Amino acid sequence: MKMVIAIVQDHDSQRLNDKLTKNDFRNTKLASTGGFLRAGNTTFLCGVEDERVDELLKLIDDTCGNREQTVAPVTPMGGNADSYIPYPVEVEVGGATVFVLPIEQFERF
């Protein structure tokens, strides 16, 4: 048994949740916030049998694609402004950060 923790951008959250449900992957969804862009994320917790881990990872990969997004710069509050970029920049967002952890015991009540 494995615990799969997938952190995805909110933009992909509903589509991933629909696909997890359709493919019989039970999950718990948690709201979270990313550090770099301070954007909303969703963290999915899925307990899954060892033989279905690859299927789950493929589903996440197919659903949560990378894309370019223009972001406005954050004005520096004190400190060194030498590295401050005063114009919007293109950054790559999306995708998923996934952790697969071994589970010793699993109970459902």
Task: Specify the fold of 2-72+85-102.
Answer: Alpha-Beta Plaits (3.30.70)
**pLDDT score of 43:** 95
- Residue 78, SS3? coil
Tell me the percentage of the chain whose pLDDT exceeds 70. Answer: 71
Reported as a pLDDT band with limits 50, 70 and 90, residue 90 is: low
As a whole number, the mean pLDDT across the chain is 83
Residues 74, 39: Cα–Cα separation, whole Å: 13
Residue 70 confidence (pLDDT) above 70: no
pLDDT for residue 57 is more than 90:
yes
Mean pLDDT along residues 44-72:
87
pLDDT exceeds 90 at position 80: no
Side chain identity, residue 29: K
User: Scanning the structure block, which residue is given the tokens 């954007």?
Assistant: 39
Domains of the chain: which residue ranges?
Answer: 2-72+85-102
**In whole angstroms, what is the distance from residue 44 CA to residue 26 CA?**
10
DSSP annotation of 52: G
Task: Give the SS3 label for residue 35.
Answer: coil
Q: What is the pLDDT of residues 16-52, one digit of tens each?
A: 999 999 999 999 999 887 665 566 789 999 999 999 9
pLDDT of residue 107: 85
- Other C-beta atoms closer than 10 Å to the C-beta of 79 total 8
Q: What angle do CA 23, 26, 30 make, to 5 degrees?
A: 120
pLDDT of residue 79 exceeding 90:
no
